[in-house]
Structure 1
Amino acid sequence: MVVREEARPGTGSAVPDVFRAAVASMHAAVLRPEIFCEEMPAPQRIAPYASALSADVTVDTGANEPADLGTGRLILLHDPEGNEAWGGGTFRCVLYTRAEVEVDLISDPMLGEVGWSWLTEALESHEADYLAASGSVTRVATESFGGMAEEAATAQVEIRASWTPRADENGYVDVRPHVEAWAELMCTAVGLPPVPEGVAVIPSRRGQRGPA
């Protein structure tokens, strides 16, 4: 898969080298086989340059069709002029993840704090250096009534977050560990067990749902 680079109209044709390198590092991420990842259109009004990925967590449940238990997107923003809201950095990662969870978890008062820790622990475990993190955790419960009363209740947790990946002295950012942390967050949220230490992760068939 080729990760698309998008520039806001009016920024000119010259894409900064540091942004090209950051996008290339996104493509270098190695994901679990349960993650099906592809490029998606990036927003063009938030920052001069942007690139985005979307992903689903798909597992084999033994039925005819694999089940999608979680979904998410990761957007990389770049503003060469910097942004005070980004802690003074020129890059920003913006994340959204939604995962199916057990209905009983929705009433757990610690769910929000635990959901946020899934993200911070994933970033730390992948040595993704960052600053100025912020975000929210939302719980959603759905019950059916009347003609739909026989349908089972469902529950989801939604995590929205953003953070500034630290750049080196030349302004370059390695986004690979941030992408891999995002993927780990999605797997943790849907309840997949962690990959045992020493076991190689098979690269995901990235982009299989659409053209590169």
Structure 2
Amino acid sequence: MAPEGASEDDFTRSADALRRAGFRTDLVVREIPSPSGVAPRSIAFAGDVRPDAHGDSPYGTGRFVLMHDPDEPEGWGGPWRIVSFAQAPLEPEIGTDPLLADVAWSWLTDALDAHGAQRTGLSGTATKTVSRGFGGLAAQGDGAQIELRASWSPIDPDASHIEAWAELVCMLAGLPPGSEQIAVFGTRPRR
């Protein structure tokens, strides 16, 4: 285990690297308060795809948290753990696709690999939801959503991890790499 001062320096270095990460202009990323009690040190970010004037995104959103615990909690496989979340609304027809969850998960692993984000212990869930409004919400009609929650232990907690997460958020919103400022068709507002 590294000396106490060294682990603090490591966390500061990693947090600064995350703050300096570059993102496409379609995605607005900001630092947010970290959840309390998850680790001795952590840093969190929120990302929204093309948010409106109020900061809400009808296309997709996500959260990213880097945690550091020099005591290496069981299940982490080391002193670092990343927890991430990404979700986007879909057309109902897409929400019923039996391969949707598998495709969403592959987008995460592909993004991590493409950005060189070395990791161990990758795990998570991909959830697809199809809904129909009734009564006062009947006018909303049918809707669908994909949500991906994942965690992994970074070998080196550098900017590659948050950049991969940002790519995933945009992919779920229908914006593959290289599609900056291209119109998004067929998205439904979040409920």
Coarse TM-score class (shorter-chain normalised):
0.7 to 0.9
The CA distance in 2 between the partners of 1:43 and 1:146, in whole Å, is: 36
Alignment of 1:133-212 (within 5 A): 133-167=122-156, 173-174=157-158, 176-195=159-178
The offset of 1:190, in angstroms, is 1.0
Structure 1 unaligned residues grouped into runs of 5+: 1-11, 168-172, 203-212
The offset of 1:83, in angstroms, is 2.3
**The structure with more helix, counted as a fraction of residues:** 2
- 2:184 equivalent in structure 1: none
The CA distance in 2 between the partners of 1:13 and 1:73, in whole Å, is: 28
The CA distance in 2 between the partners of 1:26 and 1:142, in whole Å, is: 36
The CA distance in 2 between the partners of 1:147 and 1:41, in whole Å, is: 35
SS at match of 2:122: strand
Q: TM-score scaled to structure 2, two decimals?
A: 0.84
Change (3 A) 1:66 1:163: closer
Structure 2 unaligned residues grouped into runs of 5+: 182-191
Q: Retained in 1: the 8 A contact 2:88–2:145?
A: yes
- 1:99 equivalent in structure 2: 88
The CA distance in 2 between the partners of 1:30 and 1:48, in whole Å, is: 26
- The answer to whether 1:79 aligns with 2:75 is no
What code does the residue aligned with 1:141 have?
Answer: V
SS at match of 1:192: coil
Q: TM-score scaled to structure 1, two decimals?
A: 0.76
Which of 35, 39, 44 is matched with 1:43 structurally? 35
What code does the residue aligned with 2:80 have?
Answer: F
Aligned length: 176
SS at match of 2:149: strand
The CA distance in 1 between the partners of 2:170 and 2:151, in whole Å, is: 19
Q: Retained in 1: the 8 A contact 2:96–2:130?
A: no
The offset of 1:67, in angstroms, is 5.0
Deviating 4+ runs (over 4 angstroms): 12-15
- 1:206 equivalent in structure 2: none
Q: Retained in 1: the 8 A contact 2:76–2:121?
A: yes
SS at match of 1:85: coil
Considering only aligned residues, what root-mean-square deviation do their CA atoms show, in Å? 2.5
Identity of aligned residues (%): 40
The offset of 1:147, in angstroms, is 3.7
What code does the residue aligned with 1:156 have?
Answer: Q
What code does the residue aligned with 1:134 have?
Answer: S
Which of 96, 105, 108 is matched with 2:97 structurally? 108
